[in-house]
Structure 1
Amino acid sequence: MTFSICVRERYTDGSGDGQIRFGVAVTTRLPGVGALCPFVSEDGAVATQSHTNVDLGRKGLAYLADGLAVEDALDALLSADEGRERRQLHGVDADGTFAFSGDECGEWYGHRVGQNYTVAGNLLVGSAVIEETAAAYESAAHGESPLVERLIDALAAGQAAGGDKREDLPVQSAAVRVETTEEGDRTGPSYDDLRVDATETPIADLRETFETAVRGYEDALARYADDDE
């Protein structure tokens, strides 16, 4: 199912404590990708695609919550999966990264592992999709913009490089999710979990959804500011 990116970013919260934010974003030429591929929690981010097995994402996060390293958690799940050669699975936790592309994924397929991120894709026009997605994220890593926005930018770069090659499938989808280790901030602002389930312009629509959600979030903060004083 096309291409996705998983990232981790360390930051300092308002109290001066070290925290980590995890994010995952994905797009494909099929509807509803947000319900199937991206998984994220305060323990890490995982993307499962290419003959998607949602249990790999769900159980992957459960294993991370139990204290397993992402490499051990995802490798163990793949070892027990009879369809592993048709899968792509990648992700990050607080310290490690993992990426796997089975030999039976649809051409072009592949993945890239960076210091704090992973990118993977299949049924793409070529390797440039992965490279441009990674480059766009690297150039803006730890930038001032919200991680959600920067992940959308990374998807846009991959899409501009050609994206999914199945042009006979016009209905597409995209999703982005972010969570942090910050106590009391498990869900984050209302724009940290966004999906566009069926459209012919997934990245543009996801960006518009993000911008609208930010405006709505800021309007709500202003509207109820007096109630919190």
Structure 2
Amino acid sequence: MTVSLCVREPYRVDGDRGFRFGVVAAAAVPTVGALAPVVSPDGAAAMGGHIDDTLGDRLRRYLADGIAIDDAVEALLGAADVATRRGRQLHGVGRTSRVAVTGRSCVAAADRDGDHYTAAGTHLPSEAALDAMVDRYTGAAFGDEPLAERLIDALTAAREVGIDSRRGDSDGSLTVGSAAVRVVTTESTDSRRFYNDLRVDASESPIADLETTYSAALLGYEQAVDAYGDPNPRRLPDDEN
């Protein structure tokens, strides 16, 4: 049902260490953005398979309490019965660790993890979609473009390969899907960057529509800054890979 990418990008501004956490996800059903992405100043995670709509809030609380994301995921999955646990996919990155778990009952599923990212999907036509998404992201990781833009671009690379065997363009029966991107930074700001939290809840071309929505949101943000000024002028972070 879902293909997703979670990333952590550390940086320094004026000597202070900060993090950007982000998730991008797409699914062959509506409203993936309401359930799958879990993002906070403490980490980023995404769910696939049998999604529990309470799992995200519980995971955020664990991370806020200082529990490492791999320990938090182990606790959450361990609290479920065996059948439920086997049907779940849960992956993500925290401040100090990462985790990717795919239950054995998840259909055509796979996951990937690297130093500062995890990726996963279910109902994949092939694992090439995950490889394409990871390759596109890592090729631009820590780049000058906003993280949300780079995440959407990585999702586009997966779409070009094919991300869901049930979609109409993959000889499947489902034609309406969804996509979402969310980025949270630990650097405190007084203004909200419109382009960091976007959803396309029901569309026959959700990833393309997410790209269009992002471009419009970025333009709207720039227009607002031009009209009213930016209360948080962007400071360039020191490189820290």
Q: Same fold (TM over 0.5)?
A: yes
**Gapped runs of 5+ residues in structure 1?**
none
Please state whether the residue corresponding to 2:195 is helix, strand or coil.
Answer: coil
Please tell me the residue identity of whatever aligns with 1:173.
S
Please tell me the residue identity of whatever aligns with 1:105.
C
1:172 matched to 2:177? The reply is yes
Instruction: Provide TM-score, normalisation by structure 1.
Output: 0.94
Instruction: Provide TM-score, normalisation by structure 2.
Output: 0.90
Following superposition, the deviation at residue 198 of structure 1 comes to: 0.7
- Mapped to 2, the partners of 1:77 and 1:9 lie a distance apart of 25
Change (3 A) 1:16 1:227: closer
1:123 matched to 2:128? The reply is no
1:203 matched to 2:213? The reply is no
Please state whether the residue corresponding to 1:61 is helix, strand or coil.
Answer: helix
Please state whether the residue corresponding to 2:50 is helix, strand or coil.
Answer: coil
Aligned residue for 2:103?
Answer: 102
Aligned residue for 2:93?
Answer: 92
Query: Counterparts of 1:1-229 in structure 2 under 5 Å?
Result: 1-13=1-13, 15-82=14-81, 83-106=84-107, 108-167=108-167, 168-184=173-189, 188-225=192-229
**Gapped runs of 5+ residues in structure 2?**
168-172, 233-241
Aligned residues: 225
Which contiguous aligned blocks of 4+ residues in structure 1 show a shift greater than 2 angstroms?
225-228
1:113-168, Cα deviation, whole Å (9 max, x unpaired)? 11100000000101101111111111010011100000001111111111111021
- Mapped to 2, the partners of 1:119 and 1:58 lie a distance apart of 21
- Mapped to 1, the partners of 2:91 and 2:181 lie a distance apart of 15
Please tell me the residue identity of whatever aligns with 2:50.
H
Please tell me the residue identity of whatever aligns with 1:224.
Y
Change (3 A) 1:145 1:226: closer
Please tell me the residue identity of whatever aligns with 2:116.
N
Please state whether the residue corresponding to 1:21 is helix, strand or coil.
Answer: strand
Following superposition, the deviation at residue 227 of structure 1 comes to: 9.4
Following superposition, the deviation at residue 225 of structure 1 comes to: 2.4
Following superposition, the deviation at residue 226 of structure 1 comes to: 9.5
Please tell me the residue identity of whatever aligns with 2:93.
V
1:64-110, Cα deviation, whole Å (9 max, x unpaired)? 0000000100111000012110000001111110010001011x111
1:180-214, Cα deviation, whole Å (9 max, x unpaired)? 111236x7411100000111111110011000001
Q: State the identity as a percent.
A: 48
